[in-house]
Amino acid sequence: MNEADNGAKHKSEANQPDPAEAGSKIEAGDETETEDLECVAVRDSDESLVDSDEGVVQDSDRSEEIAALKDQLLRSAAEFENVKRRSARDVENAHKFGAEKLISDLLPVLDSLEKAVELASETEGAEAMTEGIELSVKMFLDALGKNGLREVDPLGEPFDPALHEALAAVPNEDAEPNTVMEVIQKGYSLNDRLVRAAKVVVVKE
């Protein structure tokens, strides 16, 4: 073999890679690739956690918003029911007490008619007039009664400051203390609401 062939052989052997070195490079490359994959996995996991946290926050916000809307709806419904009840009560009161002012103005007329009956009954020969006035009073009271008017005539009853107005208190051994011994002027109520208190004289305690 000549020198040229030996030189070429040595050169060829020099250019061939060392198997140990090649294996080391492959292992290093595998480790690098593994590290890259782990980094990608960690990043994906972090992104998933972020997305999950954002989803939880959004769900929590939606739940709070829904709860607030439900509360507002319940409050509106309750307010609507209150308005309905107030309106119904106002309409009922208008029906019951709409004529209260008119009836109050008519009570002095009724007092005058009843006084006329007393005077006519004390007058000789006025029986027919007395009967006519009594009939008129009865018709008047019937018409007012159909609209809810009731007499408050507490003679002999215990004194009630919510219904009676005491003009005087006098001693009376024959009557119970704090009872009505005389009615000066009758009272009247309209559908259980006092329109005019009865003016009375009370037995002194």
Residue-range domain boundaries for the chain: 25-94, 99-147, 150-205
- Model confidence band, residue 20 (pLDDT cutoffs 50, 70, 90): very low
Global confidence as pTM:
0.57
Give the separation between CA 158 and CA 181, rounded to whole angstroms.
9
The β-bridge partners of 182 are 201
- Return the pLDDT at 169: 93
Q: What is the mean pLDDT of residues 24-40?
A: 51
pLDDT digit string (tens) for 38-86? 555 555 555 555 555 555 567 777 888 888 888 888 898 888 889 888 8
pLDDT tens figures, 109-167: 999 999 999 998 888 888 899 999 999 999 999 999 998 999 999 999 999 999 999 99
CATH class for domain 150-205? Answer: mainly beta
pLDDT-derived band at 184, boundaries 50, 70, 90: very high
167 Cβ neighbours under 8 A, 6+ residues apart: 184, 199, 200, 201
Q: Are 181 and 202 in contact (CB under 8 A)?
A: yes
